[in-house]
Structure 1
Amino acid sequence: MPPLALLFLTLFNSILGLSILFPILGPLGRALGLSEPQVGAFSTAYALLQFLLAPYWGRRSEGGRKPVLLVGILGFAASFFLFGLFAFLGFKGVLTGWGLFLALLLARLLGGAFSSATLPTAQAYVADVTGREERTGGMALLGAAFGLGVILGPALGAGLASLFGLLAPVFFSAGLALLNALFVHLALPESRGKVTKEPARLSPWDRRVFPLLLLGFALNLSSVALEQTVAFHFQDRLGLDALKTAQRVGLALFFYGVVAVFIQGFLVRALRPPPRVLLLLGLPVGALGFLVLAFGQGFWALALGLVLQGAGQALAAPGVTAALSLAVGEEEQGAVAGLSSAAQALGRMLGPLLGTGLYRLFPEGPYLLGAFLLLLALLGLRALKGRL
């Protein structure tokens, strides 16, 4: 099997294990007596450690991609085992109140610290095994693995929780990560030769990468602000009860995910357009999706807005990662991948706060902000014309 296909399976397994937790984190927190802000802190803490440590892991991977991938996956498994153990002790009354919260928060901090090794190393691995003409298609394949994991993970997590209880998805994820580590150890070849010199350091302010890092941050900030508010938006705009909201949002997000996976897994890989073309197509399509979400009235209008936004994101995201990879030398691939992951993590960290805050002020706010950011980025592409 080609290295890229093996890497696709590796990243898919990692994202599947992470997204299994999405539908049960809120109910699990409430069952343990935690408040909504405390549950939200788990995601913020996870993203914060990714933001802080992704550049370190990216540079570290210059000495060998496979060992860093293994460290990231095994650390992720350990953090989920700890999270499940602490939650179990919470149900038994051994840990309660702030002691329980801090123990669970520690597990999530460890998860963010180690999982931050996976994505930048995978991006650098793609750069190792693809030529410059194939780089965009390789980065799109990573996006497809991410999207497919996000589509299937929540459904699997909900199914496991309904059959075996709220802790079953947590321990399943930990076990899946251990199997994934075994798969990487046995099947994934190393993509780097022996490197003796110190890994290259790359400043985020480097003029080759800074505008692209801003663009990646804007894409993730707007997307996460949408994710955090879209269920509220469907419920309020359509006047639904909780059950119907879950059904309608789940259906719309399924369409969103399928379109994104098709674009990244098949369309971009088949056509292999340069990064600039992907951005020129993806940014306006994504902005249009945000505007349809802001002003659409019926279910199908809102679903169309989500699909358009997903299509735009699926086009623009590999455009950014490929452009960053192509902007630097081969000895800087790990460093630039780490900075790219940190910019994305910063968007994931701030997106929930900004999105929910704007939604409380006026429901169209998160989507108008998303449209504004993407259109502003589209104008900014003119400054990068000579480098894309």
Structure 2
Amino acid sequence: MPPLAILFLTLFNSILGLSILFPILGPLARELGLSEVQVGLFSTGYALMQFVFSPYWGRRSEGGRKPVLLLGILGFGLSFGLFGLFATLGERGLLKGSLLFLLLLLTRLLGGVLSSATLPTAQAYVADLTGRESRTGGMALLGAAFGLGVVFGPALGALLSRYGLLVPVYFSAGLAFLNALFVLRFLPESRARGEGPPPRLSPLDPRFFPLLALGFILSLSSVALEQTVAFYFQDRLGLSATETARKVGLALVFYGLAAVLVQGGLVRRLKVPPRTLFLLGLPVALLGYLGLLLGRGYLALTLGLVLQGAGQALATPGVTAALSLSAGEGEQGGVAGLNSSAQALGRMLGPLLGTGLYQLSPSLPYLASALLTLLGLLLALRLKEPGRSPG
């Protein structure tokens, strides 16, 4: 099996394990007596650790990709196993209140620290194996693995939860350890051990800063949408809680499939430069946000969601590939770490932006995301192809 195919399966398994938690975290938290704010801190803390540590792990991977990738996968499995253990003790009444919350939060922080090694190392691995002409397609393959994991993970989590809310958590931990064995056995090292310490890259480096800003904008705007879309469908369409879960769940399946088809099929076949992907994807995403703002029925809102997902799926691998092509051979891990950090910052701030604006008016998160996307498009228009200075 080719190394990129092995890496695809590795990342798919990792994202599948993470997204299994999505449908069970809310009901599990209520069963353990945790508040919505405390649950929100789990996600915020996880993203904060990824923001801080992704650049470090990216640099470390310059000394060898495989050990850092293994550490990220094993760290994910360890943190989920500990989360399940403490939650089990909470269910049995052996841990309660603030102590239970603190221990669960610590497991999420640990998971954020260690699992933040996975994505930048995977991106650097792709850079090792692809030339300039095929870099964008390689990065899109990682995006397709991510999208497939997000499509199937929540469905699997919902299925496993029939046997207990903690069954998906332990399943994810076990899947991570099996994934680590798979990597250890089958994934070849892509980079010889470097000589001397890897370079420490600055996010303000003019080669990278505009692209990092664009990646941050894409992440922030899409996460603001994802955090509020269920509320928005329910309020705009007047749905019950049960109808909301069913209809939003179906809409999100189409949303995820659009991203997978674009990144796994269209982007890899187009073989266009990264800047072209920005300039195609950002207007499509903008149309999606406008569709959500103006749509009145279920089909119109779902179409808006699908357009946003397709536009995001076009633009994101363009950003990743452009950053990679703007860096030197010994800087691939470092720039991948900066990219992961910028996206983690968007995931950290997106829920605050989306939910805060939604309380003022249900349409405001989508208006804000549309304006951010327009800002991103104006920024993209000023960018040259990777390797050239901005105009």
TM tier, smaller: over 0.9
Does residue 35 in structure 1 map to residue 31 in structure 2?
no
Q: Map of 1:223-372 to 2, 5 A cutoff?
A: 223-372=222-371
- Asked whether the 8 Å contact 1:161–1:168 carries over to 2, the reply is yes
Q: Which amino acid aligns with 1:6?
A: I
- Asked whether the 8 Å contact 2:80–2:169 carries over to 1, the reply is yes
| Alignment root-mean-square deviation, CA | 0.8
- Asked whether the 8 Å contact 1:321–1:340 carries over to 2, the reply is yes
Corresponding residue number in structure 1 for 2:216? 217
Corresponding residue number in structure 2 for 1:87? 87
Distance 2:80 2:59 in 1: 25
- Asked whether the 8 Å contact 2:259–2:312 carries over to 1, the reply is yes
Which stretch shows the higher mean deviation, 194-203 or 26-35? 194-203
Aligned-residue offset at 1:271? 1.6
Distance 1:184 1:252 in 2: 34
> Identity over the aligned pairs, expressed in percent?
74
SS at match of 1:385: coil
Distance 1:230 1:117 in 2: 30
SS at match of 1:250: helix
Aligned-residue offset at 1:197? 1.7
Distance 2:192 2:99 in 1: 46
SS at match of 2:204: coil
Aligned-residue offset at 1:384? 1.3
Distance 1:140 1:382 in 2: 21
Aligned-residue offset at 1:229? 0.1
Aligned-residue offset at 1:328? 1.0
Task: Give every structure 1 segment of 4 or more consecutive aligned residues whose post-TM-superposition deviation is greater than 2 Å.
Answer: 385-388
SS at match of 1:196: coil
Which stretch shows the higher mean deviation, 221-230 or 263-272? 263-272
Which stretch shows the higher mean deviation, 191-200 or 234-243? 191-200
Distance 2:173 2:378 in 1: 44
Q: Which amino acid aligns with 2:37?
A: P
Q: Map of 1:105-254 to 2, 5 A cutoff?
A: 105-162=105-162, 164-254=163-253
Aligned-residue offset at 1:383? 2.3
Distance 1:194 1:258 in 2: 38
- Asked whether the 8 Å contact 2:275–2:318 carries over to 1, the reply is yes
Distance 1:272 1:98 in 2: 52
Q: Which amino acid aligns with 2:3?
A: P
- Asked whether the 8 Å contact 2:275–2:383 carries over to 1, the reply is no
Q: What per-residue deviation string (whole Å, max 9, x for no partner) do you get for residues 179-208 of structure 1?
A: 000000000000001312211111000000
Q: Which amino acid aligns with 2:141?
A: L
Q: How many residues align?
A: 387
Distance 1:225 1:292 in 2: 16
- Asked whether the 8 Å contact 2:322–2:385 carries over to 1, the reply is no
Q: What per-residue deviation string (whole Å, max 9, x for no partner) do you get for residues 42-64 of structure 1?
A: 00110000000000000000000
- Asked whether the 8 Å contact 2:54–2:117 carries over to 1, the reply is yes
SS at match of 1:310: helix
- Asked whether the 8 Å contact 1:75–1:111 carries over to 2, the reply is yes
Q: What per-residue deviation string (whole Å, max 9, x for no partner) do you get for residues 94-152 of structure 1?
A: 11000000000000000111110000000000000000000000000000000000000
Q: What per-residue deviation string (whole Å, max 9, x for no partner) do you get for residues 199-232 of structure 1?
A: 1111000000001000000000001000000000
Aligned-residue offset at 1:385? 2.6
Q: What per-residue deviation string (whole Å, max 9, x for no partner) do you get for residues 28-55 of structure 1?
A: 0000000110011100110000000000
Distance 2:177 2:28 in 1: 23
Aligned-residue offset at 1:386? 5.5
Distance 1:124 1:38 in 2: 34
Q: Which amino acid aligns with 2:152?
A: L
Distance 1:225 1:99 in 2: 30
- Asked whether the 8 Å contact 2:137–2:268 carries over to 1, the reply is yes
- Asked whether the 8 Å contact 2:8–2:142 carries over to 1, the reply is yes
Q: What per-residue deviation string (whole Å, max 9, x for no partner) do you get for residues 229-270 of structure 1?
A: 000000000000000001110111111111110010011111
Distance 2:324 2:189 in 1: 19
TM normalised by structure 1 equals 0.99
Distance 1:354 1:274 in 2: 32
TM normalised by structure 2 equals 0.98
Distance 1:298 1:228 in 2: 20
